[in-house]
């Protein structure tokens, strides 16, 4: 980056999900600043329904063990070579935030909380991008596995909605085409 912040529009249009991180760690203070500013996501009643289980710096090695033993290895039968290959997807990120939301028993509030937390995640990704840090929102099947949840300290009545990876990258992914706005909107009364 050239030291100048992106406009909101530029951040939205330029941000990409990064899947190939270069292994450089994301500093704790930087990650905390991103997560702090992301809290300005819109959320009904200012409930701020999210919480995070974060790993960076020293915690990454322990998290990699948890990901291997209670996540990837339990997800499906893999040979040792296949497991090593799969783990590369998880060991090159420079930081993690597992985004957790309480599952309110009231449907309306549960949906509002999920939407607000999704907005929080998007804010975090855009803020990280503005600092030259890539992010990828992942929802691997093992995030609901009981042993994995237990290892992360997820309580009953809570749901992990994102395994948010952060990190630096060497190559910018190409933009994938998007539908034209006319393909997904109709004007009221025009049908």
17 carries a ligand binding annotation: yes
**In which order are the strands placed within the sheet that holds 95-102?**
50-56, 95-102, 158-167, 134-138
Name residues whose C-beta falls within 8 Å of residue 68's C-beta, 6 or more positions apart in sequence. 83, 87, 90
75 carries a ligand binding annotation: no
Whether residue 182 is contained in a domain is answered as no
- Dihedral of alpha carbons 91, 160, 34, 7, sign: positive
SS3 (DSSP) at 54:
strand
Whether residue 139 is contained in a domain is answered as yes
Whether residue 51 is contained in a domain is answered as yes
How confident is the model at residue 36, as a pLDDT? 97
Whether residue 186 is contained in a domain is answered as no
Q: pTM here?
A: 0.89
190 carries a ligand binding annotation: no
Is 130 exposed, middle or buried, given 0-12, 13-18 or 19+ CB atoms closer than 10 A?
buried
16 carries a ligand binding annotation: yes
88 carries a ligand binding annotation: no
Whether residue 148 is contained in a domain is answered as yes
How confident is the model at residue 86, as a pLDDT? 81
- Token code pair at residue 81: 């070579």
Whether residue 188 is contained in a domain is answered as no
Domain that holds residue 99: 8-171
How confident is the model at residue 88, as a pLDDT? 85
Rounded CA separation 9/20 (Å): 24
Whether residue 185 is contained in a domain is answered as no
How confident is the model at residue 162, as a pLDDT? 96
Name residues whose C-beta falls within 8 Å of residue 35's C-beta, 6 or more positions apart in sequence. 52, 54, 97, 124
139 carries a ligand binding annotation: yes
Length of the chain in residues, anyone?
A: 191
Helices (H) and strands (E) in the chain, counts: 7, 4
How confident is the model at residue 75, as a pLDDT? 63
Name residues whose C-beta falls within 8 Å of residue 136's C-beta, 6 or more positions apart in sequence. 17, 18, 19, 93, 164, 165
30 carries a ligand binding annotation: no
What are residue 134's DSSP bridge partners? 167
Instruction: Give the count of beta carbons closer than 10 Å to the beta carbon of residue 24.
Output: 14
Contact 23, 92 (CB under 8 A): yes
Whether residue 180 is contained in a domain is answered as no
Question: Total domain count for the chain?
Answer: 1
Which residue ranges in the chain fall short of pLDDT 50? 1
Check which CATH number belongs to the domain holding 139 and give it: 3.40.109.10
């Amino acid at each position: 980056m050239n030291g100048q912040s992106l406009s909101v529009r530029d951040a939205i249009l330029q941000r990409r999900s990064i899947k190939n991180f270069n292994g450089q760690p994301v500093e704790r203070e930087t990650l905390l600043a991103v997560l702090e500013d992301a809290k300005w996501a819109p959320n009904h009643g200012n409930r701020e329904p999210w919480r995070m289980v974060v790993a960076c710096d020293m915690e990454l090695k322990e998290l990699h063990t948890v990901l291997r033993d209670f996540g990837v290895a339990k997800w499906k039968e893999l040979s040792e070579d296949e497991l090593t290959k799969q783990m590369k997807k998880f060991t090159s990120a420079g930081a993690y935030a597992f985004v957790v939301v309480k599952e309110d028993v009231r449907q309306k509030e549960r949906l509002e909380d999920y939407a607000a937390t999704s907005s929080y995640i998007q804010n975090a990704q855009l803020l990280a991008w503005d600092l030259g840090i890539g992010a990828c929102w992942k929802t691997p099947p093992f995030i609901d596995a009981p042993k994995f949840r237990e290892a992360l300290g997820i309580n009953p009545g809570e749901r992990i909605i994102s395994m948010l990876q952060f990190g630096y990258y060497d190559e910018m992914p190409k933009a994938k085409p998007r539908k034209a706005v006319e393909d997904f909107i109709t004007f009221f009364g025009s049908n």
